[in-house]
Amino acid sequence: MKRCVCLVRCSTEKEKGLQDYQYQIDTLTEICKQRDWEIVKVFGNYVSGAAPLEKRQEILDLIAFVKENKIDYCCATSIDRVSRDLLTGVQIIRTLADNGVNLYLANYNLETLQDGKISAITEMLLSVVLSVASYEREQIRTRLSMGYRAYIQRRKENPELRLGRQGYQKSEDSYREEYAKELSLLRKGISMRNVRAITGTSLGTLQKLKRFL
C-alpha cells in the first residue's frame, strides 16, 4: 500500500472557505480510498496561494515530515492548492521530488514523477498553469492600480472626495500577496532600481517591502 500525505489550502476561514476546505479533504480521502493509498497525515492552512514559501507553514511542515518519513505521494485537488506563484510552485514540486515524493493533482489526474524523475511534459504543463495563475494576479493588481489612478484624477477635479479609508493601513500579509513577485526578486539580491524597471513598482513601495524580507 502506498503511503501519502494530503495538502489542502483555502484563502479564507469564512463559511465558503470552510466548506471548500472540507470539500478538498473529502475529495482526496475518496481518491486515496479508491487507489488503496494510506493517508498518513493531512497538512492544511488558510493562507493565500501567492504567499512566499516562508509564510506557508503547512508546506514547511509537510516537507519536514516527508524528509523524516517514507512517503510515496503528496495529494492535492489542484496545483493552485499547492501554490499560485510560478517560482514557489516549481520549488515545492522539485523539493518533493528530491525526497522521492510524487505530487498527485486530482483535477488533472496527474502524477509529477515518472521513473522517479519529474517528467518534461509534467514540468512544462505545470509551468504554464502556474504562469497563468501569476498572470491573473498581475491583471488584478493592474485593474486595482488603474482604478486608483482614476480616483486620484476625480479627486483633483473634486477635492471634496476623500482619499482612501480613514485609519486604514495595509497589512503585511496584503503587501506580501500583492507584491509577491517584487519580494521574490528582492530576495535574489536584485537592486530596487532594477526591480522597479522589471515590475513598474515605485521605489517608495519597494523600500516598504524590504522590511518584510
pLDDT tier, 190 (very low <50, low <70, confident <90, very high otherwise): confident
What per-residue confidence (pLDDT) applies to 108? Answer: 83
Statement to judge: residues 46 and 107 lie in one domain: yes
Which pLDDT value is given to residue 160? 60
Residues 111 and 187 in one domain: no
- Mean model confidence pLDDT for the chain: 81
In this predicted structure, what is the pLDDT of residue 169?
59
* CA-atom Rg of the chain in angstroms: 20
Domain range for 58 is 2-130
More confident residue, 170 or 99: 99
Residue 163 has pLDDT above 60, yes or no: no
Please give the DSSP secondary-structure letter assigned to residue 120.
H
Across 24-45, average pLDDT? 95
Query: Is the domain of 120 the same as that of 177?
Result: no
Of the three residues 130, 148, 177, the one that is the final residue of a domain is 130
Per-residue confidence (pLDDT) for residue 91, from 0 to 100 = 87
Q: Are residues 176 and 91 both part of a single domain?
A: no
* Local structure of 200: helix, strand or coil: coil
Provide CB contacts within 8 A for 202, sequence distance 6+. 196
Q: Is pLDDT larger for residue 178 or for residue 150?
A: 178
**116 belongs to a structural domain:** yes
Please indicate, yes or no, whether residues 108 and 205 belong to a single structural domain of this protein. no
φ, ψ at 85 (rounded to 5°): -105, 130
* Domain annotation covers residue 141: no
- pLDDT of 7 reads 97
CA distance 199 to 133: 17
**Mean pLDDT of the region 205-210:** 85
| Pairwise CA distance, residues 22 & 40, whole Å | 17
Identify whether 186 is part of a domain.
yes
Tell me, yes or no, whether 47 lies in a domain: yes
- Helices 57-68 and 86-98, packing angle to 10 deg: 10
Looking at the structure, do residues 14 and 75 belong to the same domain, yes or no? Answer: yes
Residue 54 lies in a domain: yes
Q: Report whether pLDDT(31) > 50.
A: yes
Query: Among 103, 130, 157, which residue terminates a domain?
Result: 130
- Flag whether 152 is in a domain: no
Looking at the structure, tell me whether residues 207 and 112 fall in a common domain: no
22 inside domain: yes
pLDDT range class, residue 139, cuts 50, 70, 90: low
Is-above-0.75 flag for pTM? no
Residue of 94, 17, 107, 9 lying closest to 49 (CA atoms): 9
Number of structural domains (the chain) is: 2
**CB of 176 closer than 8 Å to CB of 52:** yes
Instruction: Evaluate whether residue 150 is within a structural domain.
Output: no
Whether residues 68 and 15 share a domain: the answer is yes
Q: Could you say which of 110, 130, 150 is where a domain stops?
A: 130
Work out whether strand 102-105 and strand 73-76 pair parallel, antiparallel, or are unpaired.
parallel
Taking a C-beta distance cutoff of 8 angstroms, is the pair 180, 52 a contact?
yes
Only one residue has cell 482612501, namely 164
More reliable by pLDDT, 43 or 153: 43
CATH, residue 73: 3.40.50.1390
